[in-house]
Chain A
Amino acid sequence: MPDLIESYSISRRDVLVAAALGGGAVAFGYCGSALALADAVAPTGDTELYNWVVIAADNSVTLRIAQMEMGQGAITAMAQLLAEELEADWAGIRTEFISIATHRRRNKVYGRTRTAASLGVKLSEQLLRTAGAQIRMMLVTAAAARFGVPAVELVARDSAIHHPTTGRKLLYAELAGDAARVPPPDPATLRLKAPQDWKLVGKPLARLDVPAKTDGSAIYGIDVSLPGMKHAAIAMSPVVGGKLASHDAEAVLAQPGVHAVVPVGEDAIAVIADDWWQARTALDAMPIEWRGGAYASLSSETILADLRMGLQAEPDIVLRDDGDVGEAMPKAANHLEAEYFVPYLDHAPLEPMNATALVTDDRFEVWVPTQVPETALSVAAETLGMDPNSGEVHPTLMGGGFGRRQSSDFVRQAAQIAKAIPGTAVKLLWSREDTTRHGPLRPVALSRFRAALDRKGTVAAWSHRIAAHSTSPVDSTYGADSLLYAVPNMRVELAVREPVIQAAPMRGVAFAMNCFVTQSFVDELAVTAGADAYAFQRALLDPAKAADYVPPSVFPDFDGLTPDVRAARLRAVLDEAADKAGWSEPLAAGRGRGIAVNEEGTSYFAAVVEVTLDGAGWFKIDRVIVAADPGFLVNPDMATAQVEGSVAFGLTSAIYGEITVRDGAVVQSNFDDYRMLRLDEMPDVEVHWVLNREVWGGVGEPATAAVIPALTNAIANAGGPRIRSLPIMNHRIERRVL
């Protein structure tokens, strides 16, 4: 293998030597180096079959995983989908992340590696089930030749091909060599199993990554260890858009362990040392001056004032204009107006940002926890001015992603820093403060609603103007213009203001913004109409009257489903949530219930939240009920865990989530001033599945959005204030004086 970076041609086992004091650690995930630039060749005795599968001599089956693992269970879900048609013995399954260099060289055979938007399963299931079936047929063909019988007489089961009539069998390991020479069959000639025949898909199998996550042996990006590796800490301009003005490297170069001080681009500077503590300590001791830049006077107040101007100006884009709002509005009996605000949010995955890079004259390698490994590779190549084909990215486990790791800012920095000491690997680790202050953020937005109710209390007209920082629907309008409500006159507009802080999609993306505002406003309309919130919502979701409107660009899209079908599915989960919550049962004074729905692509979610006001300015969440229809489930227990986690994530955003800006800089810095929901605040969560078994959806996001308005609606229902700006912690939760 002439292409290896010589001194780094280490095996995974070497990576673990560092864990000398550990108790029998086993690596999980692909974090070793450096089959770097050779193709991903299976070790001797192992046979690769059609890119996806490696069969070992002991008949274990390694499945290559092309979706990144950030905790959502991608490794296990992808393995279940691939192993299902492969008829692999689940007990002998191993997994490894794909090689990104190999993926590139093989014309992207592994499909979409970007891992986001709850789309992993939806966009992979056909590819993986088909590949599994193709490889099974390659093994069957090889066995047919060996047995001298027609392929139709053979049965694949538990990593072996059986010939039932003669009782003979051959293990996959015995067939792999022959099978590797069989051309993969045309997918059109294969028939995939019907859902009722699945043995792995749809089953609550134990996650493959859990054992290593209970004994400290799971390797995240922050844990990558390479021979001779150095550590880097970084300081970035506190002010958005600011630049490094001056620094005094001499002041710290003599400190123990310090190797180099490296300016990183125009707005950051790093210290490289033997370990991270030394690097961080030296960096903190180094005199650094920054030049403010254009945004030095930016604050949350100026941003809000600018968004408000957006509400007053002419809209830049009319997203939807059904009927004639201008004519219908004045005619109606009753009107309601409300303005809602959602703040900036930081994703705050628990593992701070990091990346490890190794650069030589003509090669580079990056080890990184990322949702976008291919982008990470191109960003590194571009930063280094090198050919992308001379690089490799090793994805690691992520200590959370939530959209933050769709950006490759830290990869760019790691490449720049490692370039300063060629031939030596450098691990760049951001502090928590860096991570809170320098992330691209879930953007702010302001919404103004106006609606008209006719005499019967039905919604005659609905107007929603959003002021946001982006025309990209994922950051601004998802969930606002796709409403299925039976409202004859509906107008949704967007005013785009100049963005100041870089945006990054966060779990639930703009759905989490617009679900809060639309579902709150529907609840306010119900109250105004004197109607029950659930009954009011249900009437609006009438399939027979669903608005015949489909947003021009939606991703995830609706898979061609018509509005009546979508409305029926959304109403079905609404009904299920209300039913399971015992919606019609009365609650004691000071208690309240709220309900909300969220349609994300082909996933349909409804949430009910119950709260009790504590009489002292705050509240307690008694329970959360979620009903969900994502079409199918690969692994019901993992899916339930995703919903439980979504609820915690959404409640954190609802109650505490707020990044503010002062003098051009993010104010919050760490978990003391950017709070997370904690265990003693976690309510019981009940998850109820209603599966249409027709179209695949996702489970990792939609509850994040739905739980927020369900909570604020519950607070209002309990007699508390109507929360029109998040987070709730900025409000005093007292009973309104009636």
Chain B
Amino acid sequence: MTATTQDRTVVLTVNGEKVSLTAPGDMPLLWVLRDRLGLTGTKYGCGIGACGACTVHVDGAPTLACQTSVKAIAGAHVTTIEGLSPDRGHPLQRAWVAEQVPQCGYCQSGQIMRAAALLARNPEPSRGEIAKEMRANICRCGTYLRIVRAIERAARDA
């Protein structure tokens, strides 16, 4: 990698609030969220798009924040785990508690954000559809069985 690209000013809407920030154009959204906006719920796991820990929504679509430069999404609406619901009330968040999904919890923001995008698109996913979508996100603690159960519960309860 050579020197950083020029700083540029980018306007984003993050969790419903307009944010104007000056950052190197190739700076990944992940580090903007974490280090500049203090939104540390979005996690760094691999930086190469292989683990899903950094999954957020960009204009509603599940997006790997480590693979998305800020300049590429200028003007977009970004939702992070902190903005998924005001009160932990999203059906998935409730289902995550009911099924006691998290262990270390580190992957879970990304898991919930990917699952939320899935349910928004497909409110009653089959087990196969859940598996196909969620294989993008690693859980090193192995909470997979409970993730599936929680998504199915949220689909039922939503």
B35 partner residues in chain A, CB cutoff 8 A: 231, 275-277
Q: Is A649 an interface residue (CB 8 A)?
A: yes
* CA of A72 to CA of B102, assembled, Å: 10
Evaluate contact between A644 and B140: CB separation under 8 angstroms: no
Question: Once the chains bind, are B135 and A679 in contact (CB under 8 Å)?
Answer: yes
A277 touches B31 (CB 8 A): yes
Contacts of A22 in B (CB 8 A): 15, 38-39, 41, 82-83
Q: How many A-B residue pairs have CB under 8 A?
A: 230
Contact status of A649 and B142, CB under 8 A, knowing A22-B82, A256-B4: yes
- What is the bound-complex CA distance between A350 and B141, given in angstroms? 9
Nearest chain B residue, comparing its CB with the CB of A274: B35
Measured in the bound complex, the distance between the Cα atoms of B41 and A222 in whole Å is 10
**Contact of A276 with B31 in the complex, beta carbons under 8 Å:** yes
CB neighbours (8 Å) of B83 from chain A are 21-23
CA distance A19 to B14 in the complex (A): 12
Which chain B residues in 124-158 approach chain A with CB under 8 Å?
Answer: 130-132, 134-135, 137-148
For the complex, what is the distance from the CA of A276 to the CA of B87, rounded to whole Å?
30
> How far is B24's CA from A679's CA once the two chains are assembled, in angstroms?
35
Complex Cα distance A400/B27, Å?
A: 27
Q: For residue B28, give the distance in angstroms from its CB to the closest CB of chain A.
A: 7
Other-chain contact of B104, A275, A351, A672 (Cβ < 8 Å): A351
A49–B46 Cα distance when bound, in Å, is 44
Residue of B nearest to A638 (CB): B100
CB-based contact A349/B131 at 8 Å:
no
The answer to whether A432 touches B106, judged by C-beta atoms less than 8 angstroms apart, is no
Bound complex: CA of A663 vs CA of B24, how far in Å?
36
Stretch of A1-9, A207-215, A300-308, A444-452 at the chain-chain interface: A207-215
- Is residue A218 within 8 Å, beta carbon to beta carbon, of the partner chain? yes
Residue pair B50, A398 in contact (C-beta under 8 Å)? no
A671:B80 contact, CB within 8 angstroms: no
Which residue of A225, A255, A281 is within 8 Å of B38 (Cβ)? A225
Contact residues in A for B28 (Cβ distance below 8 Å): 277
With a CB–CB cut-off of 8 A, which chain A residues contact B42?
216
Contacts of A397 in B (CB 8 A): 104-105
Interface-centre pick from B2, B31, B132, B139 (highest chain A CB count, 10 A):
B139
Q: Which single residue of chain A is at the shortest CB-CB distance from B36?
A: A275
A214 CA to B111 CA, complexed, in Å: 10
Q: Which residues does chain A contribute within 8 Å of B34, judged by CB atoms?
A: 223, 276
Interface size class of A (residues with CB under 8 A): 35 or more
CB-nearest residue of chain B to A678: B135
- A682 close to B31 (CB less than 8 A): no
Q: Which residue of A lies closest to B108 (CB)?
A: A213
Is B74 at the interface (CB under 8 A from chain A)? no
Cβ of A641 within 8 Å of any chain B Cβ, yes or no, is yes
**In the bound complex, do residue A70 and residue B85 qualify as a contact, i.e. CB atoms below 8 Å apart?**
no
Chain B residue at minimum C-beta to C-beta distance from A73? B103
Which of under 10, 10 to 19, 20 to 34, or 35 or more describes the interface residues of B? Answer: 35 or more
Any B CB within 8 A of the CB of A342? no
Q: Does B67 contact A (CB under 8 A)?
A: no
B40 x A19 contact (CB < 8 A): yes
Nearest to B127 among chain A residues (CB) is: A680
Max chain A C-beta neighbours (<10 A), residue from B51, B103, B140, B142: B142
Tell whether A614 is near chain B: CB-to-CB under 8 Å. no
B103, A72: Cβ atoms closer than 8 Å:
yes
A586 at the B interface (CB under 8 A)? no
Contact among A21, A680, A682 for B17, CB-based, below 8 A: A21
A23 touching B15, Cβ below 8 Å: yes
Measured CB to CB, the closest approach of chain A to B104, in angstroms, equals: 3
- Check A215–B84 contact: CB distance below 8 A: yes
Given contacts A210-B97, A350-B138, contact A21 B104 (CB under 8 A): no
* Contact of B102 (CB < 8 Å), options: A210, A278, A285, A648: A210
Q: Which residues of B contact A275 (CB under 8 A)?
A: 31, 35-36
Using CB atoms, name the residue of chain A closest to B53: A350
Q: Which of B37, B82, B87, B146 is the most central at the interface, judged by chain A CB atoms within 10 Å of its CB?
A: B82
| Cβ of A451 to closest chain B Cβ, rounded Å | 34
A214 touches B103 (CB 8 A): no
The contact sample of 23 A-B pairs, CB cut-off 8 A, is A20-B38, A21-B14, A21-B37, A24-B87, A73-B103, A206-B100, A207-B100, A210-B101, A214-B112, A216-B82, A218-B105, A225-B38, A275-B36, A281-B4, A351-B43, A399-B107, A401-B104, A432-B46, A648-B142, A671-B48, A672-B50, A679-B131, A682-B144
Give chain A's interface residues, CB within 8 Å of chain B: 18-25, 70-73, 206-207, 209-220, 222-223, 225, 231, 255-256, 275-278, 281-282, 284-285, 348-352, 397-402, 429, 431-432, 637-638, 641-642, 644-649, 670-672, 676-682, 684-685
- For the complex of A and B, list the 4 residue pairs with the smallest distance between their C-beta atoms, beginning with the closest: A216-B41, A648-B142, A71-B104, A399-B106
